Structure 1
Amino acid sequence: MGELQDRELIFVFTGPDGSGRKTVADSVGTTFGIPKVVSYATRKPRSGEIDGQDYHFISAEQYAEMEGRDEFIESVALHNCRYGLRRDDIEHSFQQDGCIYLIVNPEGAEILKQLYGHHVIRIFIYADRATVAEREERQGLSQELIQDHLSHYAAAMAYQSACEHAFENYDLAHTVFDITNTLEAYLQRNLVERD
């Protein structure tokens, strides 16, 4: 792992499943033109998910081979599926772009913080349990999966106090606006307002 420069930052979006962290993260990333490092997953794509954009969807066998080669900087098992971030993807993105963002669960966020220290800015996205359940129902997730996610809700919420920033996500535009204002200080782009 190479030494990171001061301006090389990893914006890590985390929080409970169903909080909207992916939608918020992608909107913020697009606003700033920051590339996303995409995780690998052994599950099938859900409705609307695109391979290479939401996750790299691979087989359990491919995942095991990559893990055997120690390619993952972070690897977790959730809901009978494996999710991982490749070390090379992060390193390559830093060389190309300097700043990146990614979307991981609290366990992944903590691993990245331990590895990269002050270069990691954790952005915790949350909503109340009822809102989370309602969003996941609208996404067409099974009741079994929704209940499984909700069983981890309290543990995920407990990670909020460890994060550098937390945002309640009930209105997407408002949440994205607040986060972009917050991240501007880290990026120090010296933008000038024009009339």
Structure 2
Amino acid sequence: MQNLANKSIAILATNGFEQSELEVPLNKLREAGAKVDVVSLEAGEIKGWDKKDWGRSVKVDKTLDAVSADDYDAIVLPGGQINPDLLRVEQKALDLIKAFWTQKKVVAAVCHAPWLLIEAGIVKDRKVTSYNSIKTDVINAGGKWEDSPVVVDQGLVTSRNPGDLDAFCDKIAEEISEGRHDRRAA
């Protein structure tokens, strides 16, 4: 993985995030030297979902009200069914995601998190992958869905499931290292 010293990354999540989809990027990106903040709706802790039942809690580093895309080089959106479904109705969360995209920063989403990309209006004309059950949602939003472990399209990094997290994290680091991305029309 690329060295991410002097880089800052936000992981936006709330209760019901898929355990590995938050913890693996959190740990791998920190190991690569990045400062990584878990950002959520409220202070304290958020509880994960670990495959078929509630998992471990993770400390929230900053609340959504206290952060800006200006503070970070990238945003990572963990999936699970519950987490992105709760966040996609939070306008402040969508505004933050849109701000990263508008500033040509890396936006990374795994599993069901492309729901957030759909709500933020980011998937149209972009190559995207996701968990198979939301493939139709991506296509209906104008995304070019691919059945691939990880898909990258000009700073947009998507991954279909927790089994692909190593490759997902590697691509996030690569895209951050490349810097800002032109967002030409597809």
TM-score (norm 2): 0.42
Greater RCO (Cα-Cα under 8 Å, separation 6 or more): 1
Structure number having the greater strand percentage: 2
Larger radius of gyration: 1
When the two structures are superposed, what TM-score results if normalisation uses the length of structure 1? 0.41
- Comparing both structures, which one devotes a greater share of its residues to helix? 1
